[in-house]
Amino acid sequence: MNKNWMKTVDVQTWQLKDRAKALAVSGAITATIAIGVLTYQNSFSYQLYFNGQNLGYVSEQMMVEDALAEIEKQLIDQYGEDFFYEKEITFEKVRVDKSSTLEIDSLTNALQENIQVFQEAAVIMVDGEEKLILATVEEANEILEQMKKPYVESLAGSSNNIEILDIAFEQDVEVILKNVQADLILDEVDALERVNINTEEIQTYKVAQGDSAWTISRSYGTGLRTLEEANPDKNLEELMPGDTINLSVEKPFLDVSAMVKETVSEKISYATEKKKDSSLFIGQTKVEQEGKNGEKEVTKEVLYVNGVAEKSKVINEKVIAEPIAKIVLEGTKSRPVVTASRSTSASSYKSNLGSSIVATARQYLGTPYRSGGSTPAGFDCSGFTQYVFRQLGIGLPRTSGGQRSVGGFVAKSDLMPGDLVVFSGHVGIYVGNGNMIHSPRPGRRVEITSINTAYWRAKYISGRRAY
């Protein structure tokens, strides 16, 4: 065996052993470094920002994705597949105590609280403002139709002669598709409940001739107390034409207008013709022919707003029956001027004539007092009574002193409408129920007053029947 060969082998063996030792040392160093790096990495956590909100610390980024995956499953169960939400996630590497990081349940809750779900939905726009949100255009249109339905049924049921030409909303109404917050979308039941709630609105009203608080409240379907509450600074018992008051009226969600064509039967009022008759005294009348109303068929277009007719236009008229005029004979024969003393008994009461005297006198209510006046431009007390009686063919003296002795005496307890009532320096016409109509004094107007007040009771002299 060659000894040199053996030596070489020994050297190589040593070299191999030495190399193995070196590799073992190198591997141990590498493993130590890797474990150190891993330990260093695991000492970090992450600050989580979700859509700009700081939600806290998480130990691993994958926890967020896992939590969102679970949340999305729940959202699909609730909203279906057609939804979306904003998801902007930012991590910042931080070194915090592991006890400060969020557990998976807490992380899930924090994410849920900051997720805003959006869906495409149908928005009912009224004059450019969003009013109601429903899931589909079909549901939105159905709600609008339901709002019209009560008015359609009311009009259709009111008559067989009504044709609805058009029904619409007074406001500008449209339905648009838009991405909205999912929790703002209403179901049809909730939407109908909301549109059926009326709101109160304050409107102004200008008082017209003949208006009173009572008639205004009846016209607008509101109570007197509500009217008073809307006008705390006004005395509603003293309203005058031209005054402006507030009205608290209910306003519906939308104003529904309906244009209809309706055909109705209307009466044609008969005319009254008057003929002079010399066989009757002035003030006496007699019906020669009774009148009878005619009838016509009228077709018109009527605009209803919220069920109330606001304006109409006649488009056709057809006369069914002509009216028959009423003919009234009016007396032209003058009555003699009757004068009598206080002791003269009054003639029998004539209710028709007495009523005519009162009716004629009432025509001049509100005429101003005028000293020496005996025309509708202005009356004094005796000028008023003389003028009224003259319209019925009965002549009276011009002064109250002269009138106190005309005709026959009537006891106060026997006074009847149309009798003169005489006072110290004054005269009026009895209208019944203890009242007289008279022109009282300067600054006042023809009015109705009780003859039983302390003032007039003290001045009372007698009653006179001047026919």
Q: Indicate the number of domains in the chain.
A: 5
Same domain assignment for residues 404 and 305: no
Same domain assignment for residues 347 and 421: yes
Same domain assignment for residues 130 and 247: no
Which residue, of 331, 359, 379, is where some domain finishes? Answer: 331
The DSSP annotation for 289-357 comes to E--B-EEEEEEEEEEEETTEEEEEEEEEEEEEE--B-EEEEEEEEPPPPPB--TTSBPPPP-HHHHHHH
Same domain assignment for residues 267 and 368: no
Q: Is 294 a member of any domain?
A: yes
Instruction: Beginning with the edge strand found earlier in the chain, give each strand of the sheet holding 256-268 in spatial order.
Output: 162-169, 256-268, 294-305, 308-321
pLDDT given for residue 42 in this prediction: 54
Same domain assignment for residues 56 and 146: no
Which CATH number characterizes residue 381's domain? 3.90.1720.10
Helix or strand run (H / E) with residue 216: helix 213-219
Same domain assignment for residues 206 and 243: yes
Same domain assignment for residues 305 and 413: no
Helix or strand run (H / E) with residue 77: helix 62-79
Q: How far is CA 16 from CA 7, 10, 11, 456, in A?
A: 14, 10, 9, 151
Q: Is 1 a member of any domain?
A: no
pLDDT given for residue 69 in this prediction: 94
Same domain assignment for residues 455 and 349: yes
Same domain assignment for residues 78 and 185: no
Q: Is 7 a member of any domain?
A: no
Which residue, of 169, 195, 221, is where some domain finishes? Answer: 195
β-strands 129-134, 460-465 pairing = unpaired
Which tokens is 275 given?
């003929």
Q: Is 437 a member of any domain?
A: yes
Which CATH number characterizes residue 295's domain? 2.20.230.10
Four-point Cα dihedral 220, 225, 226, 230, nearest 10: 110
Which residue, of 94, 115, 136, is where some domain finishes? Answer: 115
Same domain assignment for residues 345 and 460: yes
Residues 2-56: tens digit of each pLDDT: 333 332 223 322 233 343 343 444 444 344 444 444 444 456 899 999 999 999 9
Q: Is 69 a member of any domain?
A: yes
Of 406, 407, 404, nearest to 350 by C-alpha is: 407
- Going residue by residue through the chain (467 aa), what tens digit of pLDDT does each one get? 333 333 222 332 223 334 334 344 444 434 444 444 444 445 689 999 999 999 999 999 999 999 999 999 999 998 888 899 999 999 999 999 888 999 999 999 999 999 999 999 999 999 999 999 999 999 999 999 999 999 999 888 877 789 999 999 999 999 999 999 999 999 999 999 999 888 777 888 899 888 888 888 887 778 888 888 899 988 888 888 999 999 887 788 999 999 999 999 999 999 999 999 999 887 788 999 999 999 999 999 999 998 888 899 999 999 999 999 999 999 888 766 544 444 456 788 999 999 999 999 999 999 999 999 999 999 999 999 999 999 998 999 999 999 998 999 999 999 999 999 999 999 999 999 999 999 999 999 999 999 999 999 999 999 999 98
Q: Is 21 a member of any domain?
A: no
Query: What is the Cα–Cα distance from 392 to 444, expressed in whole angstroms?
Result: 26
Of 441, 453, 414, 280, nearest to 356 by C-alpha is: 280
- From the centroid of its chain, how far is CA 461? 57
Which CATH number characterizes residue 229's domain? 3.10.350.10
pLDDT given for residue 184 in this prediction: 94
Q: Is 174 a member of any domain?
A: yes
pLDDT given for residue 282 in this prediction: 77
pLDDT given for residue 344 in this prediction: 58
Range of the domain at 290: 261-331
β-strands 285-289, 244-251 pairing = unpaired
Same domain assignment for residues 458 and 341: yes
Of 211, 221, 199, nearest to 245 by C-alpha is: 211
Beta bridge partners of 317: 298
Same domain assignment for residues 98 and 126: no
CB 147 within 8 A of CB 196: no
